[in-house]
Structure 1
Amino acid sequence: MNLLLNLSIFFFAVIIHEYAHGWVAWKLGDSTARFMGRLTLNPLAHIDPIGTIFLPLILLITHSPVLFGWAKPVPVDFFNLKNPKQGMIWVGLAGPVANILFAIALSLLLKIPLLLASYLAVSVVTTAIMANLVLAVFNLLPIPPLDGSRVMMGLLPYNLSVEYAKIEPYGFIIIFALLWMNAINTIIWPVVISLARLLGVNFGM
């Protein structure tokens, strides 16, 4: 499948992910994303030059088995939430859960005989399932500022969450270091494969 199509599929998964964060935050009391025009499926509102374009492009060019990245984070003021600590957990989970639900919905398309007759259609749907699962699993890593860290902060006692948050300025350094050591692929890919098999999709190893 060509590079542009792969990037488009990945980008759409990222949009769903970020929209879910903003939507859940809005429902829980914070309208920041809505007021800033980020509660939208318009891709231009979510592009991050490094996370949405550069990193996925490099991973595709280098034939990485895992394609991941991030969009411009949807702004959330957790203090506006009805229950900030609990709300942080739900907002953090919203993006990954949205991607997993979308992957489940896409997997149902693979049950349609007419679609199965088209190699291109099967390839697009399968790639979209992979993109959504990878994005979900990657973002659940407990490395600030990824979603998993928001969940962790919501679960930790206040004093520990404050200390944990101090890691955030170094988060991307940690991520790129793990990427360089191939550790992220090692962590993510087996989980993605397992989830895919639960959906009846076999990516292979």
Structure 2
Amino acid sequence: MSAATRGERGVSPVFLALVAIMAVSIWAVWTDFSASPGFAVFLFIVSGWLVSLCLHEYAHARTALHGGDISVGARGYLTLDPLKYTHAMLSIVLPLIFVIMGGIGLPGGAVFIERHRIRSRWKQSLVSAAGPLTNAVFAVIVTAPFWLGAMDGVPDTFRYALGFMALLQVTAAILNFLPVPGLDGYGVIEPWLSYGIRRQVEPFAPFGLLAVFGFLWIPEVNSAFFDMIDAVLRGLGVTEWDTFWGRELFRFWQGTPDIPPLHTVGF
């Protein structure tokens, strides 16, 4: 393997730094080392979310590479470096802003894939599906202690942080799978549409995410959406109590919440 190839595929120091921050923040949350548990939860959620975004975009790129698009290596997508993405604002900044606002796991922009290099429609669909599937896998891993019944002895603060992280991953996966132009869900079905339909839909792609966000402002839509999210999380063993207090701890700038002991509420 040449030096150039190693550079295209080696793990970025930026990503390694994010992983290190996540690991330290996990330790701080678990041991209650920080004077402000909310700040430790904040660091864990933000760094963990950025790690998941990097893995989301990496999954797109790696799947595209195996599908025939060798250009992803030259663009640095295989290094897990968030600074290499073509839409850093959409992929990193805006989703991070929405996480900091304590809302939802907003899907971001995808890496640039030269789809003409990928001859199989199935492979093109898989390239688009790979990103949100990564969020789904991340959610399953984060919630493993819940659905495995392994929460005995886990500090409440850490439990709530995992619950909120799971909420972000589930919302990101579901939103990204919506068949809306500009989102991965549309990318899954796009190869199977006629050329004429794709040309008609193409101008609306930049506004798909904004349309989804606008619909979520409608109270009835918002309520139905989060009822679905809560149902998925309950299936993974995560309760609304977990996600509520995880969000409250995450918003450390509002002050440390007075959280009742878990055993007093029947969980």
Scaled by the length of structure 2, the TM-score of the pair is 0.64
1:21 pairs with 2:60: yes
Q: Distance in 1 between matches of 2:94 and 2:133?
A: 25
1:67 pairs with 2:105: yes
Amino acid at match of 1:48: A
Match of 2:133 among 89, 93, 97: 97
Residue 88 of structure 2 corresponds to which residue in structure 1? 48
* RMSD of Structure 2 on Structure 1 (CA): 2.8
Deviation per residue, 1:15-35 (Å, 9 max, x gap): 221111111111111122222
Unaligned runs of 5+ in 2: 1-37, 245-267
Matches within 5 A, 1:1-205: 1-2=38-39, 3-46=42-85, 48-49=88-89, 52-54=92-94, 56-58=96-98, 60-61=100-101, 63-64=102-103, 66-70=104-108, 72-83=109-120, 85-110=121-146, 111=148, 113=150, 116-181=153-218, 185-186=222-223, 188-203=225-240
Q: Distance in 2 between matches of 1:183 and 1:53?
A: 28
Residue 18 of structure 2 corresponds to which residue in structure 1? none
Bigger-Rg structure (1/2): 2
Unaligned runs of 5+ in 1: none
Relative to structure 1, the CA distance from residue 116 to residue 189 in structure 2 (aligned partners, 3 Å threshold; closer, same or farther) is farther
Alpha-carbon distance, 1:176 to partner: 4.2
Task: Give the SS at the match of 1:17.
Answer: helix
Q: Tell me whether 90-99 or 116-125 shows the greater mean CA deviation.
A: 116-125
Relative to structure 1, the CA distance from residue 94 to residue 52 in structure 2 (aligned partners, 3 Å threshold; closer, same or farther) is same
Q: Distance in 1 between matches of 2:221 and 2:71?
A: 32
Relative to structure 1, the CA distance from residue 89 to residue 116 in structure 2 (aligned partners, 3 Å threshold; closer, same or farther) is farther
Q: Distance in 2 between matches of 1:194 and 1:106?
A: 17
Scaled by the length of structure 1, the TM-score of the pair is 0.80
Q: Percent identity?
A: 22
Deviation per residue, 1:107-136 (Å, 9 max, x gap): 223437477422233223222222211111
Q: Distance in 1 between matches of 2:141 and 2:81?
A: 21
Count of residue correspondences: 201
**Does the CA contact (< 8 Å) of 2:75 and 2:84 recur in 1?**
no
Q: Distance in 1 between matches of 2:216 and 2:88?
A: 19
Deviation per residue, 1:20-53 (Å, 9 max, x gap): 1111111111122222001122343347235523
Q: Tell me whether 1-10 or 141-150 shows the greater mean CA deviation.
A: 1-10
Amino acid at match of 1:133: V
Moved over 6 A (4+): none
Q: Distance in 1 between matches of 2:57 and 2:192?
A: 22
Deviation per residue, 1:147-176 (Å, 9 max, x gap): 011112123233223322232143344244
Q: Distance in 1 between matches of 2:216 and 2:123?
A: 30
Relative to structure 1, the CA distance from residue 56 to residue 183 in structure 2 (aligned partners, 3 Å threshold; closer, same or farther) is farther
Q: Distance in 2 between matches of 1:74 and 1:182?
A: 32
Amino acid at match of 1:130: L
